Chain A
Amino acid sequence: MHDKALIKDLKRKALEIRKWVIESVYRAGSGHPGGSLSIADVMACLYFHEMRHNPKDPKWPDRDRLVLSKGHAAPALYAALALAGYFPVEELKNLRKIGHFLQGHPCMKKVPGVDMSTGSLGHGLSVAVGMALAGKLDGKDYRVFVILGDGEVQEGQIWEAANSASHYKLDNIIAILDRNGLQIDGPTEEIMHVEPIAWRWQAFGWDVIEIDGHDIEEILDTFHEIKMNEKPTIIIANTIKGKGVSFMEGTLSFHGKPPSEEQYKKAMSELEQEERELNG
């Protein structure tokens, strides 16, 4: 059980992330709102509670790492980093703009707090394995979080990485699979099935936990439960693509499309309404 104030605070943070996702993608005129919104709650829990990190020292060697393997959800990562204090939130208005540092996909050389450059799907878990191996070699107790898309796991390299993580007993890796059910061309199960997903990861030697990826309390409890038992862990977070904005929820169309002006206003007013209810 977690205290009510914490849960409420994280809910607020998740809403702020969602608002910035809409704001930044709208201003950029391009970007990926759907998959950013689906991970907003997980992001809030990671950056504002679970992860050990220090925005004043982004390269702190002992920090927990986060690899956003589904790099197109950069708007959610950037919002979390800005809100945590890695750079001014005003920068979020310059997403994807020439002469500014927030690249369309995460760039570790340009953005403080980004632990790995991503964008081409299927690479992040391998990098996380390397980071986790380094942690073991150096006797450090940091953990490596990695966020995967449910379409992304169709990439073969994910399974090479999954295999190597369990082979080297990397219990310092925690993967979160954003199981929003959709990729670009349609639902995962129609395009290229990924089920039985839990069973597949178990077969690769991972501990698997399935949760509601929008339930802050459940997310926190789950992180709390993870044991260092020589096995990597994957949390299958059942989510809704576009979560928080009614007309984006469960749709394919907002995977990689910004809202129009009218849609932007509607989205912001919905999120603000939710904020008022939460505070109210």
Chain B
Amino acid sequence: MVNANITNKMRNLRDAYSSALIELGSKNEDVVVLDADLSLSTKTKRFGTVFPDRFFDMGIAEANMMGVAAGLAACGKIVFASTFAVFATGRSYDAIRQSIAYPELNVKIVATHAGISVGGDGASHQMLEDIALMRALPNMTVIAPADATEMEDVVPAIAEHSGPCYVRIGRADAPIIFETHGEFKIGRGLVLRDGSDVAIIATGTMTAEALKAYDLLKKEGIEACIVHMPTIKPIDKKLARKVAGKTGRIITCEEHTIIGGLGDAVSMAIAEKPVPMRRIGVNDVFGESGEARQLMEKYGLTAENMAKVAKEMIKKY
């Protein structure tokens, strides 16, 4: 079991991203960073200030940015390309497919502002199908870290990994749940709480909610097993099967459409020895404007909803 607790400390994953990038850049001269006119929001600008020679703003031309990233990688650079998730994956899909994933080039797409918690900008900017798009691409690794600590581990880990990666983080500040570094490993899921009544497998921002759900359920005498899956592809099959066997009930939870994301990855992993599953995510609809917290509540992306679904499942199965 890994030590993880909801703390009062909030930290933005984008800040963690830029700090980790700068640290990485100071150790490795091959690191090059691209952005598409959102470097103040993605925070890659900070890297650009420290390493102006190795930062290129490609303007509002995301598909081109992905192609340029591929060309740099083909010449030995480790390229981080950042913009909002909706533009990074949707607008650039064919460029990623053709020029990055197929030739398996060393490009790290770090997309911010993923999910419905983007808030006021509304559905046009709330990317809910990026995991599905990126997960479908051969050679692509897909990661959704839970907090700033983990994000700081993700950056050097993907730099070390040879090949394309997609990392999605949100816009909002997030509670720190890991107080120490070093737990993240590509492809490894983490058991944060042990229990045998139901397993809640969460990724990204939903992991903190899952920890809260554990406390809610515990008060009612239910022991939930809480799993954090920072890597959605390759999914930790062994762990998914293990907790399925142990609990006999799985709930997945992601700030993403229920189609093609964590829920699909987990159900594929346990398909040979299935157990009843419920997936919590956005139910095949677009988002809308609102405050982040209001939206998370409206779309059921909360600890309370997880606890409710868990109790329903325990009653039914």
Interface residues of A (CB under 8 A from B): 61, 67, 107-109, 115-120, 123-135, 137-138, 144, 156-157, 160-161, 163-164, 167-168
Query: How distant is the Cα of A131 from the Cα of B63 in the complex, in angstroms?
Result: 16
Does B75 count as interface, using CB distance less than 8 angstroms? Answer: yes
B72 closest partner in A (C-beta): A130
- CB-CB < 8 A to A124: which residues of B? 67
A106 closest partner in B (C-beta): B103
Cβ–Cβ contact A127 & B76, under 8 A:
no
Can you list 13 A-B pairs with a CB-CB distance of less than 8 A? Answer: A115-B74, A120-B98, A126-B67, A126-B71, A129-B64, A130-B74, A131-B72, A134-B75, A135-B75, A157-B61, A157-B67, A160-B59, A168-B56
Query: How distant is the Cα of A213 from the Cα of B40 in the complex, in angstroms?
Result: 46
Query: How distant is the Cα of A131 from the Cα of B77 in the complex, in angstroms?
Result: 10
Query: How distant is the Cα of A131 from the Cα of B99 in the complex, in angstroms?
Result: 12
Does B54 count as interface, using CB distance less than 8 angstroms? Answer: yes
B107 closest partner in A (C-beta): A130
User: B89-107: contact bitstring with A at CB < 8 Å (1 yes, 0 no)?
Assistant: 0000011011100111000
Cβ–Cβ contact A123 & B95, under 8 A:
yes
Q: Between A and B, how many residue pairs show CB distances below 8 Å?
A: 109
Give chain B's interface residue range (CB within 8 Å of chain A). Answer: 20 to 34
Cβ–Cβ contact B69 & A130, under 8 A:
yes
Residues of B contacting A: mostly = helix
Partner of B76, one of A134, A161, A168: A134
Cβ–Cβ contact B99 & A61, under 8 A:
no
Does B232 count as interface, using CB distance less than 8 angstroms? Answer: no
Cβ–Cβ contact B94 & A126, under 8 A:
no
CB distance from B36 to the nearest CB of A (A): 10
Query: How distant is the Cα of A132 from the Cα of B74 in the complex, in angstroms?
Result: 11
Known contacts A130-B75, A134-B72; A161 and B53 CB within 8 A of each other: no
Query: How distant is the Cα of A54 from the Cα of B66 in the complex, in angstroms?
Result: 28
Give 8 nearest A-B pairs by CB, closest first: A130-B71, A126-B67, A134-B75, A160-B61, A160-B64, A130-B68, A127-B71, A131-B71
Partner of B99, one of A107, A109, A126, A135: A126
Query: How distant is the Cα of A120 from the Cα of B61 in the complex, in angstroms?
Result: 18
- CB-CB < 8 A to A61: which residues of B? 75-76
Name the residue in B63, B69, B75, B103 with the highest tally of chain A Cβ atoms < 10 Å from its Cβ.
B75
Does B73 count as interface, using CB distance less than 8 angstroms? Answer: yes
User: B240-279: contact bitstring with A at CB < 8 Å (1 yes, 0 no)?
Assistant: 0000000000000000000000000000000000000000
CB distance from B59 to the nearest CB of A (A): 7
B62 closest partner in A (C-beta): A160
Known contacts A120-B98, A123-B99, A137-B54; A161 and B67 CB within 8 A of each other: yes
Cβ–Cβ contact A126 & B66, under 8 A:
yes
Query: How distant is the Cα of A80 from the Cα of B77 in the complex, in angstroms?
Result: 28
Partner of A157, one of B64, B73, B74, B77: B64
- CB-CB < 8 A to A137: which residues of B? 32, 53-54, 77
